[in-house]
Structure 1
Amino acid sequence: MKVIVTGTTGMVGEGVMHECLLHPAVDEVLSISRKPLGISHPKLREIIHGNFYDLSAIEDQLKGYDACLFCLGISSVGISADEYYKMTYTLTMHVAETLSRQSPQMVFEYISGAGTDSSERGRSRWARVKGKTENDLMKLPFKKVYAVRPGFIKPTPGLKNAKSFYKYINWMFPIGRALYPKGFCTLQELGLAMIHVALEPYPKQVIDGKDIIELGTGKG
């Protein structure tokens, strides 16, 4: 399987890419990012591209892939509604529309978030925007589209972005996992779940925390 991973300079994308590089069913990983990753691996190929709103310069290099694990995203905290919409909905849809033309046979998996509002009518701005993004992605002519909704994600030890602020709240993980299991997954579980769904059709298009854990631990 040949996969594209976006957001690889962030915590989630880095962890998902890491699992892809380790997985025997993944033959090639293409990272598309704005800056070099600073790592090398026999399976890894990088495209450095600064403008995700215009992929015309690299579009021809996006053919023949089996899956896109879309891990690029930002928090809504501290930015305007317009900027959040542009960077969450507009950017994601542009990348997905481009890929649907070049690799329509692929499975597209979008990292969304727990609490996303599929109705697009709720009170939370970020949840509405995420919901609209999910809904419109599912209209594109891919082989399959999945919305993956993790809650708290425990970083993978040893990776560059494991040094992010999450390390300061990792103590919450065992407590949260015990009290509210579907809201707490590891980054390894998330990556393995996404690989599993890319390889084998899953009956649900919206994959929640419970599904992530079951798929990521081989119980799904």
Structure 2
Amino acid sequence: MKVIITGSTGLVGSAVIREAIANDGITHAFVLSRKDLPKEISDNAKVTVIPHADFSKYPEDLLTQLAGCEACIWAIGGRAPHFPDLDTFRKVSVDFTLAAARAFKQRLAPALADNQRFRFVFCSGMLAEWDQQKSLLFMADSRHVKGQVEKGLCDLADKDGRFDVFCPRPSGVLPSNVSTLGKLTGKLYGAIQVQDLAKALVYIALNGAEKQIIEAGELTSLHK
């Protein structure tokens, strides 16, 4: 399978690239990135790094390069406090993600063979909330925006066509070099190590899932 990967300089996206390289089910990874990547990634035969400055636009020449891809693992986002303001967080999380999904649904999915479906895998977050009017006691901005993205993507999903959407919801992501204390603390809130999350995301890209929303506890069975 040829796959598109975003968020390449982040914790999750970089781990997804490493897993894509290691996984025999992935034949090639097209990495959309604003920044240059380490040579061990950019020089790998399984990887094509495509410089992409504006994630709100997907011109024809870019879509031509991505022709034949059957999945996208979207790892751009994070939590609201990581951004300078809510508007920026919403633009990066909602606008960029939905712009890509619409472009891939319109141009890449219909060009696949009759027995193939395009899978858009959005790395969301635990307790994402679709109801934008619901009052939340904690992490309200992050949960509302993640929920807005999920709903927008699921509205784009086409059961009768060739565009599927999956939204895994990790509760927290631990780096690969996390300490023993960090692992123990992570267990308290169901965190997953980044390499295991990457395996789960690649698994979903390759095989799909029974449900569009994949809760944190369900991810552990997808990285074995």
Question: What interval of TM-score do these two structures reach, taking the shorter chain for normalisation?
Answer: 0.7 to 0.9
The separation in 1 between residues aligned to 2:193 and 2:78, in whole angstroms, is 19
Provide structure 1 residue ranges, at least 5 long, that are not aligned to the other structure. 158-166
Deviations 1:118-168 (A, max 9, x none): 2333331221111111011112245310011112212234xxxxxxxxx5x
**SS at structure 2 position matched to 1:21:** helix
Counterpart amino acid of 1:62? L
Q: 1:118 aligns with which of 130, 154, 163?
A: 130
**Given the superposition, is the C-alpha separation of residues 53 and 170 from structure 1 closer, same or farther in structure 2, using an over 3 Å criterion?**
farther
The alignment partner of 2:155 has SS state of: coil
Q: Given that residues 8 and 32 in structure 2 are in contact (C-alpha distance below 8 angstroms), is that contact kept between their aligned partners in structure 1?
A: yes
Amino acid at match of 2:16: V
Q: For residue 160 of structure 1, what is the aligned residue in structure 2? A: none
* Residue 73 in structure 1 maps to residue 108 in structure 2: no
Partner in structure 1 of residue 20 of structure 2? 20
Tell me whether 207-216 or 78-87 shows the greater mean CA deviation: 78-87
Q: Which residue of 1 aligns with 2:50?
A: 47
Query: Which position in structure 1 is the counterpart of 2:186?
Result: 176
Q: Which residue of 2 aligns with 1:208?
A: 215
Could you tell me how far apart the structure 2 residues matched to 1:204 and 1:98 are?
23
How far the C-alpha of 1:170 sits from its partner, in A, is: 6.6
State yes or no: 1:193 paired with 2:196.
no
Corresponding residue of 1:163: none
Residue identity (%): 27
> Are the counterparts in 2 of residues 15 and 155 from structure 1 also a CA contact under 8 Å?
no
Give per-residue Cα distances to partners, 1:1-60, cap 9 Å, x unaligned.
Answer: 111100011111000111111001110011001011122211011100111112215232
Determine the structure 2 residue equivalent to 1:164: none
The one of 58, 61, 66 aligned to 1:62: 66
Alignment-derived partner of residue 87 in structure 1: 92
Distance 1:208 1:170, change over 3 A: farther
1:175 is displaced (CA, Å) by 3.7
Which AA in structure 2 matches 1:52?
F
Q: Which amino acid aligns with 1:122?
A: K
How far has the Cα of 1:70 moved from its partner? 0.3
> Equivalent residue of 1:30, what SS?
strand
- What's the TM-score once normalised by structure 2's chain length? 0.84
1:125 maps to amino acid: D
